[in-house]
Structure 1
Amino acid sequence: MVDNSDHFRPVKWLATNLNIPVEMVYEKKFSQQSIYGMYKEQVKKEFFQKSQKSIPDNYVLIIDEINRGNVSQIFGELITLLEEDKRIDAEDGMPLTVTLPYSKKTFSVPKNLFIVGTMNTADRSVEALDTALRRRFSFQEMTPNYDLNELNYEVIPGVSANELLKTINSRIEKLLDKDHLIGHSFFMNRSGGSPLNNVVDAFYRNIIPLLQEYFFGDYGKIGLILGQGFVKLMEAENETIFAKFDYDIETRDVYEIIDHRGNHNTFKVAIKQLMNRN
């Protein structure tokens, strides 16, 4: 048996499929041989050094909740340097370099730097977003992705995670708008534990508190989204709780969130009611 491992070496390719004349790489011409002896003194090192510089790595700077900061104070005059035609090595551009006020060092932005800013469209601070920032960024809406493989599991028999999320979001959009839709990350089972435990945790740690914030404690609307398996109308209190006084009063309904943590059987029933499958 022949061990082929002696005939191969790992290669880190800097570039492939390039149509380059041999004279630019090597001092001698190649003939139709199977194997060539490459002598380092005849390799044109300047070509490889130049080629390596021409294939730079890309770098990504992510600024989370970018709309919450004062953009004019954070970037200052440097925001102009973010424009494509103002960057170093920009083709057909006008590269700019500025002197930093404190260090007095020159500063410029390379073209291989990509800046990603995240924000929540339901956040009211988006409305006051700096106009200069709007002009220099392209806005990409990230809607819930119901087709993710991580959502392709059953919460209860017959109800998948993506179907459950889609149902909740369709009701939120009817009562509010699409900017308040719940993201798919809440239903992604990242912990590797039981999918049902993950969904129960997501309901009581994320989804229900978020709905309470959305509807300012209007549990009637929360009930329209989650159903009577999660929201219960409390029994009317006896009117004797008030002090004796001659006044006609119209009391409001009082609701309660039903806590199914610790009881998966009742939670499964509540999910069926949410999906109108009871």
Structure 2
Amino acid sequence: MCTNTSNATCKVEILHGVAYSPLFFLGLLVNAAALCAFLAKRDCWTDTYIYMFNLAIADMALVLFLPFRIYDAFFCLPKTTLCTFLINIHFTNMYARILTTTVISVQRYLVIRFPLQARSWRKKKETAFGVCLVIWVFLVTTCAVFRKDNYPDKLWRCYERCKNHRLQKEFIVILLLLGFFIPLMIIVFCTSRIICILSKAENKSEEKKSIIGLVTANMIVFIVCYTPIHTGFLVNYFYIPPSHWQSLYIPAHVYFHVSEWIAATNCCFDSISYYFLLKQS
């Protein structure tokens, strides 16, 4: 167990595995229930259902591969092409969740800001399916283009890259800009506008209050879950020279593990949105 790491690093890895274990079981439970609920209502799907179903698929895909992460924390998986595949799966599904959440936020804003036009648009389901397809094609293509960045010779452990092998500049720009900062700005804008529009409405029904609470909660969860890991990407790339890495390794190692775990917890928080959607249908 952890034979190729120091005692301090080994303890971090064990805690890492312990933290992911309940996340796997809870995530499996809530996302399996969500998928079953969506499939049971497949005859009355709307564009919102399609977006939420896509989000549930991304959540479930991440959860199903967590056992590999847990096993690696305790027993250290060998550095093979399987590790490259697992890293790509983990982060592809994370960014699928980020981009789908962004699209859902835009869709909610457009429905509330332009209600008449939203009702008259007849190809909403086709558009939703096309948008989800574009998201997956973009992410898979990005992984294929930059696949060498996570080859076994660039890895220190199965799920961790060597710190002296930095990601390509173009790749880090895509991760930070398209994968986080732009979605964050869009979500903050859409959420603030939704709150402003519904707060000014003369008829403040319970449904409108619940929508305000839901979009606010979704924005807060998004910021809390995804800001730490992308802050880590930014700091690691621009401010930590490889020659100084050894003295900073343990705290940085802990930070990245914690931030990745926080990002992964979003697969359970999404169940809040599923609940309100199914409740209102």
Q: Which TM-score band applies after superposition, normalised by the shorter structure?
A: under 0.3
Q: RCO (CA 8 Å, sep 6+): is it higher in 1 or 2? A: 2
Larger radius of gyration: 1
Which structure carries more strand by proportion?
A: 1
